[in-house]
Amino acid sequence: MIHAEVARDVADLTTRGVVPGLTVVLVGDDAASATYVSGKEKASRSAGMSGATIRLPATTSQAALLAVVEQLNADSTVHGILVQMPLPSQIDPDTVIRHIHPRKDVDGFHPINVGKLLIGHTDGFVSCTPAGVIELLVRSGVQTRGAEAVIIGRSNIVGKPMAALLMQGRSHADATVTVCHSRTRDLSAHTRRADILIVAAGRAEMITGDMIKPGAVVIDVGMNRVPDATRAQGTRLCGDVHFASAVKVASRITPVPGGVGPMTIAMLLKNTVRAAERSLH
């Protein structure tokens, strides 16, 4: 549904003379990153955008990558720039993120966009995964106002922006937010009082049904590849939530794969459309 909405917006912008353009930069040949990048390119093309991927060798220097980013910043046909993480060890990710022009930072990682999110200004870009979680909650009719929302994980790309979004004083937010992390004492005591439990710890199936309040809404952000001898490739993808036990207790739960992953890509496309729209003004 969101993809159809994005495709309509892209068609509208195209008739106004702007084809939204997303350029993804992939450094190195990490298999998981390559899969994510091709998914993003495919999705942007199928929405009618001009999607390009710049592939650079794993030995690329930081200076060379920054030069590519500068070129993209200056290219008026590129509205969104995404540098796929993780980067090889010779490159500092924060330096790269700070070089992306905030108006083209469709990942929402630039400190200016993170600051706008925290302050509650809506003219920045919000990190795609937490934005996708809000979209899922809204479209499922989940009431966030006054709800106890417990987030597991405090990363800059998921946990922190998720907390910032849910604590804002506006509709589709207004929750009472608790952020748990690797140093939290008695995790279950927090998860068991969550009306909305959002798990982004990167620990396969760590949240089991007995840790969930009956009727809670459970959003599983985790994406873990674990061994599975029953599968042809010897592995399977799973979330941070033990689905079989959690589904018996939760009122709603997102699956992995599915759920948050596709929503993240949809938000990336939405951010790129916004960036293109803003280039008209």
Q: Which residues are catalytic?
A: 40, 84, 107
Residue nearest to ligand NAD (CB): 155
Q: Check binding of 275 to ligand NAD (CB under 6 A).
A: no
* Nearest-approach distance from CB 193 to ligand NAD, in angstroms: 16
Closest separation in Å from C-beta 70 to ligand NAD = 27
Q: What's the length of the chain?
A: 281
Q: Which of 221, 266, 269, 273 binds ligand NAD (CB under 6 A)?
A: 221
Residue 50's DSSP bridge partners are: 21
Query: Can residue 261 be called a binding residue for ligand NAD (CB under 6 A)?
Result: yes
Binding status of residue 114 toward ligand NAD by CB under 6 A: no
What letter represents residue 199's amino acid? V
Q: How far is the CB of 74 from ligand NAD (least distance, A)?
A: 29
Question: What token pair was written down for 34?
Answer: 């390559």
Q: Does 3 bind ligand NAD (CB under 6 A)?
A: no
Regarding 202 and contact with ligand NAD (CB under 6 A), the answer is: yes
Query: Please, which of residues 124-153 interact with ligand NAD by CB under 6 A?
Result: 129, 152-153
Instruction: Decide if residue 54 touches ligand NAD (CB under 6 A).
Output: no
Measured from the CB atom, is 45 or 225 closer to ligand NAD? Answer: 225
Nearer to ligand NAD, 13 or 204 (CB): 204
Q: 188: which 2 tokens?
A: 């279950």
Judged by CB under 6 A, the chain residues 66 through 95 that form the site for ligand NAD are: none
For ligand NAD, how many residues bind (rule: CB under 6 A)? Answer: 25
User: Per CB under 6 A, which region of 1-9, 110-118, 138-146, 257-265 contacts ligand NAD?
Assistant: 257-265
Select from 14, 62, 155, 178 the one that contacts ligand NAD (CB under 6 A).
Answer: 155
Query: What are the structure tokens assigned to 127, written together?
Result: 């990190």
Radius of gyration of the chain (CA): 19
Site string for ligand NAD, 177-196 (x = CB under 6 A): ---xxx-x--x---------
Residue closer to ligand NAD by CB (options 66, 187) is 187
